[in-house]
């Protein structure tokens, strides 16, 4: 991540120096920056419209597409200018300490919840999978900071039990469980999905029928497989053939088709200004 991060940071610095005035002149950065800084601040398109149309599953994807289409044409100059659905959350770009959880929507069974702006896209994806006789199961969704901390500490302890000490144990743990503040689950933008018939979180998950279907179709519903097998040196997270991140349908397709991981794609997107490198 260090090389990637250094590059991003350089670009950010350049854009901060040269991009802010231009963005302000175009009058587009301020509202996007607010949305990125506070994903709980629902945009007029993505907040209310989803909640108001529970009987129209297509409306969510349509509203999200509309909004992302609009933002595709706006210059994205820094990470802070990105819309809420492209917010980068990783070890180098943690959520702030005072981060407030987005408005959530719980599943019918009450066992899970996600940012309400992604709820209908997620449900549409799960429904389509079931229609294709595939059976993905949500095993993790929104997490509080406290829950993330608990998971991370448990993993650190596991690493210590396996003989690692101090910094090494913490680094190894963070490769598999994001540090508190660094997880997309805390923003309600990610879900872990496993096959009903194989629910282990390991590499074999990629072979499961439901998982193969998800990998092939998730972009149609605005999701990307966030931690691909060959990108761990950039994401700093181990291969997770179950963690899906919502970015919106148009971005998801562009990212998937690019073959880049989210960090790489964002760098290209920022470098090109108008995105879509
Ligand atoms: Zn996950």
**Which tens digit of pLDDT belongs to each residue from 65-108?**
444 444 555 555 788 889 999 999 999 999 999 999 899 999 99
Cα separation, 148 vs 253, in Å, equals 29
| Average pLDDT of span 221-247 | 95
pLDDT at 142 over 80: yes
Range of the domain at 212: 2-143+183-272
C-alpha 229 – ligand 1 centre gap (Å): 14
Q: For residue 190, report the distance from its CA to the centre of ligand 1, in Å.
A: 6
Q: Are strands 190-195 and 136-140 parallel, antiparallel or unpaired?
A: antiparallel
Half-sphere exposure of 134 (CA within 13 A, CB side): 22
The answer to whether residue 177 sits within a structural domain is no
The phi and psi torsions of 112 (rounded to 5 degrees) equal -140, 160
172 is catalytic: no
**132 occurs within a structural domain:** yes
The residue with tokens 């291969």 is 239
Cα dist from 153 to 157, 158, 173, whole Å: 6, 9, 8
Residue 173 covered by a domain: no
Q: Which residues contact 152 (CB under 8 A, 6 or more apart)?
A: 173, 174, 177, 178, 179, 180
Q: Which helix H or strand E contains 224, and what residues bound it?
A: strand 223-225
Distance (Å, whole) CA 118 – CA 120? 6
Mean pLDDT of the chain: 79
> Tell me, what's the pLDDT at 12?
35
Q: Is the pLDDT of residue 239 over 50?
A: yes
Domain containing residue 71: CATH number: 3.30.1380.10
Does residue 151 belong to any structural domain of this protein?
Answer: no
Question: How far is the C-alpha of 41 from the C-alpha of 61, rounded, in Å?
Answer: 19
Name the active-site residue from 80, 186, 240, 250: 240
What's the gap in Å between 272 CA and the centre of ligand 1? Answer: 29
The partner residues of 114 in beta bridges, in order of sequence, read: 105
β pairing state of 243-246 and 223-225:
antiparallel
Kindly tell me if the per-residue pLDDT of 158 is higher than 70: yes
Give kind and range of the element (H or E) at residue 139: strand 136-140
What is the percent of the chain with per-residue pLDDT over 90, rounded to a whole number? 67
- Least trusted range by pLDDT, from 38-42, 143-147, 210-214: 38-42
* Cβ–Cβ under 8 Å, residues 88 and 79: yes
CA dihedral 209→212→217→219, nearest 10 degrees, is: 140
The pLDDT score that the predictor gives to residue 75 is: 57
The DSSP symbol for 82 reads S
Contact 84, 106 (CB under 8 A): no
Assigned token pair, 104: 């959530």
How many C-beta atoms surround the C-beta of residue 236 within 10 A? Answer: 21
Distance of CA 153 to the CA centre of its chain: 22
Q: Quote the number of domains for the chain.
A: 1
Who has greater pLDDT, 57 or 162? 162
Rounded to whole angstroms, the Cα distance separating 9 from 263 reads: 12
Least confident of 50-54, 124-128, 220-224, 263-267: 50-54
Phi then psi dihedrals of residue 122, to 5 deg: -65, -45
- H-type alpha helices, the chain: 2-26, 29-37, 48-52, 57-72, 116-131, 145-161, 166-176, 209-217, 232-235, 249-258, 262-272
Distance 218 CA to ligand 1 centre (A): 15
20 Cα–ligand 1 center, Å = 34
Q: What is the spatial distance between Cα 113 and Cα 57, in angstroms, rounded to a whole number?
A: 17
H/E segment holding residue 127: helix 116-131
User: Ligand 1 centroid vs 241 CA: distance in angstroms?
Assistant: 9
In a domain, 156, yes or no: no
């Amino acid at each position: 991540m260090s090389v990637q991060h250094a590059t991003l940071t350089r670009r950010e610095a350049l854009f901060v120096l040269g991009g802010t005035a231009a963005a302000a002149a175009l009058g587009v950065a301020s509202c996007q920056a607010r949305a990125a800084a506070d994903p709980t601040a629902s945009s007029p398109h993505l907040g209310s419209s989803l909640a108001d149309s529970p009987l129209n599953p297509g409306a969510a994807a349509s509203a999200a597409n509309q909004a992302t289409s609009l933002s595709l044409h706006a210059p994205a100059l820094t990470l802070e200018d990105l819309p809420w659905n492209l917010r980068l959350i990783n070890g180098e770009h943690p959520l702030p300490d005072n981060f407030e959880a987005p408005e959530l929507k719980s599943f019918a069974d009450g066992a899970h919840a996600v940012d309400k702006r992604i709820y209908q896209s997620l449900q549409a994806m799960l429904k389509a999978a079931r229609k294709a006789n595939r059976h993905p199961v949500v095993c993790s969704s929104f997490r509080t900071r406290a829950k993330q901390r608990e998971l991370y500490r448990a993993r650190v302890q596991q690493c210590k039990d396996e003989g690692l000490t101090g910094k090494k144990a913490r680094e190894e743990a963070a490769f598999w469980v994001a540090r508190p503040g660094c997880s997309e689950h805390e923003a309600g933008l990610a879900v872990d999905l496993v096959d009903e018939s194989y629910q282990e979180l390991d590499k074999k998950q990629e072979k499961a029928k439901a998982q193969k279907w998800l990998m092939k179709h998730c972009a149609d519903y605005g999701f990307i497989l966030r931690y691909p097998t060959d990108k761990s040196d950039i994401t700093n997270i181990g291969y997770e053939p179950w963690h899906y991140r919502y970015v919106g349908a148009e971005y998801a397709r562009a990212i998937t088709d690019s073959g880049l991981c989210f960090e790489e794609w964002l760098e290209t997107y920022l470098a090109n200004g108008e995105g879509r490198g």
